[in-house]
Amino acid sequence: MGRLFFFTGEALRAIRKNVAPTTAAIVTTVLTAILIGILIPVFQTAQGKSSEVRDELQVRVYLHDDATKAETAALQSDIENLTHVQSVTYLTKDDALAEFKQDTGQAQKDVLAQLNGDNPLPANFIVKPDDAANLDAIRASIQPPGKSGEATFISPIIEKVDNRQATARKIEEVTGALKIVLTVITALLIGASLLLIGNTIRLSIYTRRREIEVMRLVGATRWFIRWPFMIEGVIVGMLGGAIAILVLWIGKVTILDPLSDTFSLMQAQDSMSFIVLVACLFSAAVIVSAIGSGVTLRRFLKV
């Protein structure tokens, strides 16, 4: 325990003696932790939102108004037995109108007023696939090619089928590109952060290289020399991580939380617990700084 207090005292003395390099290391740690602390929730939110949108993709099977209950029930059974179909929900004409009102809100009051009580919306089936990539396969099963080569519906009561193919393809492209871009940015950021922290710590150690050489010449062991520097790295990481976490918390309370009530895409804290994120950032800052100090010191121990 006495050695720990001694090493800690030496680390604090070195921090007070080398204010400029230590400040640079802390600032680098703060900026790195803040950038990573922003990027991680953004990445997870983008992943969650893309999955949420993909889950909402569906095939709509619109029916003729003269379809009987028996024909509707038979068609629903046929669709449920198709491959890649996860669920089938039947909406009556009244259900379709209620859905239209809910989706459009107050913006279409004039349109609804002009209907004069008439409901032009057809009854339809909401067919959800087991995976968004199987939308085309489900549509092809509902509308297979006939003997003449032209597509025909599996039931005469079907008016049309809409699987929002363009939307599905666009979401697939955007999601794939977003994952690649965010992954590359994350890798570059982590790599650049490690280099910046390592170089900053190396600068701090370089200013005391004479002190290290003297200690080696008088017989100090490598770990006796290394421990104060590693503890100094831990202190720098703790200070940098704490400042970064404080900045992120202030940003969360003042910016993210108020906007999350209005913009669902701003609800990044829901994808990862803020406490878990804080723990990860704080641990990473401390570990990287400590390892950086120990590894960088190695070249100066060769006397």
Please provide the CATH number assigned to the domain covering 58-163: 3.30.70.3040
How high is the mean pLDDT of the chain?
76
Per-residue pLDDT of 248-268, as tens digits, reads 888 878 877 676 655 554 454
pLDDT for position 75: 92
Tell me where in the chain the CATH 3.30.70.3040 domain(s) lie.
58-163
pLDDT for position 253: 80
**Residue closest to 122 by CA, chosen among 140, 105, 142, 99:** 99
Is residue 116 within 8 Å of 172, Cβ to Cβ?
no
In the predicted structure, residue 303 carries a pLDDT above the cut 60 = no
In the predicted structure, residue 230 carries a pLDDT above the cut 70 = yes
Percent of the chain with pLDDT over 90: 9
Beta bridge partners of residue 162, listed in sequence order? 60
In the structure encoding, which two tokens stand for residue 205, read together? 């150690």
- Averaged over 229-239, what is the pLDDT? 79
C-alpha span between 97 and 118 (Å, rounded): 10
**Residue closest to 57 by CA, chosen among 144, 127, 105:** 127
Q: Which residues of 49-72 are buried (b: 16+ CB within 10 A; e: fewer)?
A: bbeeebeebbbbbbbeeebeeeeb
User: Side chain identity at 9, as an amino acid letter?
Assistant: G
* Winning range, highest mean pLDDT, from 140-144, 179-183, 195-199, 203-207: 140-144
Separation of CA 298 from chain center: 38
Rounded to whole angstroms, what are the CA distances from 250 to 101, 168, 189, 246?
Answer: 40, 38, 23, 6
More confident residue, 54 or 73: 73
3 state DSSP class of 200:
helix
Q: Which residues contact 164 (CB under 8 A, 6 or more apart)?
A: 57, 58, 60, 135
- Torsion over CA of 276, 278, 284 and 285, rounded to 10 degrees? -170
Q: How many helices (H) and strands (E) does the chain have?
A: 11, 4
What is the value of pTM for the model shown?
A: 0.58
In the predicted structure, residue 162 carries a pLDDT above the cut 80 = yes
Confidence band for 269, pLDDT divided at 50, 70 and 90: very low
In the predicted structure, residue 145 carries a pLDDT above the cut 50 = yes
Rounded to whole angstroms, what are the CA distances from 294 to 149, 180, 191, 223, 298?
Answer: 72, 34, 18, 9, 7
* Winning range, highest mean pLDDT, from 45-54, 85-94, 100-109, 255-264: 85-94
In the predicted structure, residue 34 carries a pLDDT above the cut 80 = yes
In the structure encoding, which two tokens stand for residue 2, read together? 């006495």
